[in-house]
């Protein structure tokens, strides 16, 4: 996985005794999972979300250990080693980072909340590690909160030049307009009336949340819908979308003569609809779409530049959105994204050609 400090390679975690974790005791497995310490005593990079996994119960740690040791086939694959440049290759310093920033608290159910809410909180904060992507990070690349007690928790984050959206009750770019049923359906299929899965969230749905029970998906939705509205707090390192318009400031109006309208009609309307309402099994709605309305437009720009592979739809695979980097200039991409952010009742700030150029340079597109 990419990080601001260089590429980090995931190790072999099959029970192979030489190349994997087959020699780990339960205690060593627990230390790696919830403390970020390997069997040899060295620290793991927090790309492994052990600050979130610290929430896990002892029973779940034991269950995972049993699964990895007995339910996973060993593989002798020698995983590529992570070699970050100095000073980030000094793993001993991660112990100080962990002491200063990592969560070490187990999940404690709140007696004033329902069993369903507590289950959703446990999954979202711990095993699901939603905050690893959706919570903004501080100067030391630390998550700025690990549960709802922090106002920054789940208010959006930048990861590998994707913007993971605000999951609080914010009206436009958060989950304020989503229902519990919308969220549960999204976690099951990657599709909902307010948008479709994209980027790094696609494998999360396909390989994780789609495999949860209906009760667990609903519990996560109940928990997320309980979070009060908070403004998006992430800071974009590329400066995309900055300065932003204030809530009281002007917004673009997406009429037929608006810049970008012609580009939209020619390249986008066939799948997303002339009215932005989407076309079933072809393209999601853009009207009211949280990704389109996000305070940080990084993901909206990147989807146009690179295209997107959506999750399968109700009638099988959904048509892949083609990359527009060869068909449209940076100016045209800025115009069409701005058009979508201001049409059909959407009220989000426009993006600039410079925003598009910065992102394309960062992702080498």
At 206-263, the pLDDT tens digits run 999 999 999 999 999 999 999 999 998 777 777 776 544 333 334 455 555 578 999 9
Q: Which regions of the chain carry the CATH code 1.10.760.10? A: 261-362
Angle at 284 between CA 280 and CA 290, to 5 degrees: 150
**Which run of H or of E encompasses 157?**
strand 157-159
CA proximity to 340, closest of 279, 234, 267: 267
pLDDT in tens, 37-72: 999 999 999 999 999 999 999 999 999 999 999 999
pLDDT of 244: 46
CA distance 8 to 48: 10
Provide the token pair at 122. Answer: 């446990």
- The arithmetic mean of pLDDT across residues 318-336, rounded, is 91
Whole-number Cα distances in Å, 269 to 136, 229, 337, 365: 34, 32, 13, 24
pLDDT of 155: 96
Multiple choice CATH, 261-362, 3.30.930.10, 3.40.640.10, 1.10.760.10, 1.20.1740.10: 1.10.760.10
Phi-psi category of residue 195: left, alpha or beta, with phi > 0 → left and psi -120 to 50 → alpha: left
Q: How confident is the model at residue 35 (pLDDT cuts 50, 70, 90)?
A: very high
In 10 A of CB 17, how many CB atoms? 11
pLDDT of 296: 92
- Against a cut of 0.75, is the pTM above it? yes
pLDDT of 314: 47
pLDDT averaged over every residue in the chain: 90
């Amino acid at each position: 996985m990419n990080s601001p400090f260089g590429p980090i390679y995931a190790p072999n975690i099959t029970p192979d005794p030489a190349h994997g974790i087959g020699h780990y005791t339960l205690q060593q497995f627990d230390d790696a999972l919830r403390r970020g310490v390997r069997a040899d005593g060295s620290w793991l990079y927090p790309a492994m979300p052990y600050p979130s996994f610290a929430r896990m119960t002892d029973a779940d740690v034991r269950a995972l250990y049993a699964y990895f040791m007995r339910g996973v086939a060993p593989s002798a694959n020698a995983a590529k080693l992570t070699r970050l440049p100095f000073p980030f290759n000094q793993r001993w310093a991660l112990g100080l980072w962990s002491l200063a920033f990592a969560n070490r608290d187990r999940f404690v159910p709140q007696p004033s909340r329902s069993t369903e809410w507590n289950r959703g909180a446990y999954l979202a904060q711990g095993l699901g590690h939603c905050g690893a992507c959706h919570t903004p990070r501080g100067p030391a690349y630390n998550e700025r909160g690990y549960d709802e007690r922090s106002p920054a928790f789940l208010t959006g984050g930048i990861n590998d030049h994707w913007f993971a959206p605000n999951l609080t009750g914010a009206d436009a770019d958060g989950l304020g307009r989503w229902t519990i049923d919308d969220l549960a359906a999204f976690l099951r299929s990657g599709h909902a009336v307010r948008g479709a899965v994209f980027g790094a969230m696609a494998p999360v749905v396909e390989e994780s949340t789609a495999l949860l029970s209906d009760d667990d998906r609903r519990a996560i939705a109940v928990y997320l819908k309980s979070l009060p509205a908070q403004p998006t707090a992430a800071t974009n390192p590329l400066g995309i979308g900055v300065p932003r318009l204030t809530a009281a400031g002007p917004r673009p109006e997406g009429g037929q003569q608006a810049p970008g309208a012609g580009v939209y009609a020619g390249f986008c309307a066939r799948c997303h609809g002339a009215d932005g309402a989407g076309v079933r099994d072809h393209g999601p709605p853009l009207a009211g779409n949280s990704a389109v309305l996000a305070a940080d437009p990084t993901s909206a720009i990147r989807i146009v530049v690179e295209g997107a592979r959506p999750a399968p739809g109700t009638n099988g695979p959904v048509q892949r959105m083609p990359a527009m980097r060869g068909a449209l200039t940076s100016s045209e991409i800025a115009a069409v994204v701005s058009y979508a952010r201001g049409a059909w009742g959407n009220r989000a700030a426009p993006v600039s050609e410079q925003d598009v150029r910065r992102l394309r340079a960062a992702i080498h597109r």
